[in-house]
A and B are shown apart, each in its own frame.
Chain A
Amino acid sequence: GAGVSQSPSNKVTEKGKDVELRCDPISGHTALYWYRQRLGQGLEFLIYFQGNSAPDKSGLPSDRFSAERTGESVSTLTIQRTQQEDSAVYLCASSHPLGLAGVQDTQYFGPGTRLTVL
């Protein structure tokens, strides 16, 4: 079946513009994560959606960042008034529960969106 898809694959924008990144998780995966990965760095957690529960927004770096998810499907990450430091690859991942309380299976990652803010 299809894996996690993300669009666009590349986005170049000017400082101050808003951008919207899209993630289509694997069908049936209740959990969805957004991460940011700067060049040569590790993954920085941004936000986590689990089913219909309130999302865990603890990783969002500022109020310019927001994300939404429609049910257990598509998610969009919006960055308002982009800054040069927002340049990074934004990765989305999804997973499904293993049947053990609160335990998620491994995450399946999308190919990422490379964001460049000029």
Chain B
Amino acid sequence: ELKVEQNPLFLSMQEGKNYTIYCNYSTTSDRLYWYRQDPGKSLESLFVLLSNGAVKQEGRLMASLDTKARLSTLHITAAVHDLSATYFCAVDSNDMRFGAGTRLTVKP
């Protein structure tokens, strides 16, 4: 059974700092997705990663995929308060499974 683990589950950081969220998964896959969820809202797509070594960037967020290590990272550069949200990774390996989410709080 596919298992997806994110860490950390909770992250509090100051504005202007950098940090990385990790997403590990248990079976072979080259299809990984990142989503953002604001409190009380639904999920919004951030990135789609479909090959080993894929890297995508949007603003202060950059996502990468290493299929050999079964690892994706979501890197936050110079965080701002507006990035406060819960971030989910999801892996498609015939089954679609989500990580538990990383609740990010960016403090001034």
Chain A residues in contact with chain B, CB under 8 A? 33, 35, 41-43, 45, 48, 56, 58, 91, 93, 98, 100, 102-112
| CB interface residues, B 49-108, toward A, < 8 Å | 50, 88, 90, 92, 94-101
Contact yes or no, A42 B88, CB < 8 A:
yes
The B interface, classified by DSSP as helix, strand, loop or mixed, is strand
Alpha-carbon distance A102/B50, docked complex (angstroms)? 12
Contact of B33 among A102, A106, A110 (CB under 8 A): A106
Question: In the complex, what's the smallest C-beta–C-beta distance from B55 to chain A, in angstroms?
Answer: 17
Please measure, in the bound complex, the distance between the C-alpha atom of A106 and the C-alpha atom of B43, giving whole angstroms. Answer: 11
Partner of B101, one of A42, A109, A110: A42
Residue pair A109, B42 in contact (C-beta under 8 Å) = yes
Please tell me which one of the listed residues A45, A100, A105 contacts residue B98 in the complex, with CB atoms under 8 A apart.
Answer: A45
Given A43-B98, A48-B95, A105-B48; 7 other pairs, CB 8 A cutoff: A42-B98, A42-B100, A45-B96, A103-B31, A106-B45, A106-B48, A110-B42
* B42 A111 Cβ-Cβ under 8 A: yes
Q: Which residues of B contact A111 (CB under 8 A)?
A: 41-42
* The 5 A-B residue pairs with the shortest CB-CB distance in the complex, in nearest-first order: A106-B45, A42-B100, A43-B98, A109-B42, A109-B43
Give the residues in chain A near B95, CB-CB below 8 Å.
Answer: 45, 48, 56, 58
Number of interface residues of B (CB under 8 A): 21
Q: Which of A33, A100, A109 contacts B96 (CB 8 A)?
A: A33
Binding site for A on B (CB under 8 A): 31, 33, 35, 41-45, 48, 50, 88, 90, 92, 94-101
Minimum Cβ distance to chain A for residue B105 (Å)? 14
Chain A min CB distance to B99 (Å): 6
**What residues on A are CB-neighbors of B45 within 8 Å?**
106-108
B42, A112: Cβ atoms under 8 Å? yes
- Nearest-CB residue, chain A, relative to B50: A103
Contacts of B92 in A (CB 8 A): 103-104
Could you tell me the distance in whole angstroms from the C-beta of B12 to the nearest C-beta in chain A?
16
A-B contacts, 15 listed (Cβ < 8 Å): A35-B98, A42-B100, A43-B90, A45-B96, A48-B95, A58-B95, A91-B42, A100-B50, A103-B31, A104-B31, A106-B45, A107-B33, A108-B45, A109-B35, A110-B42
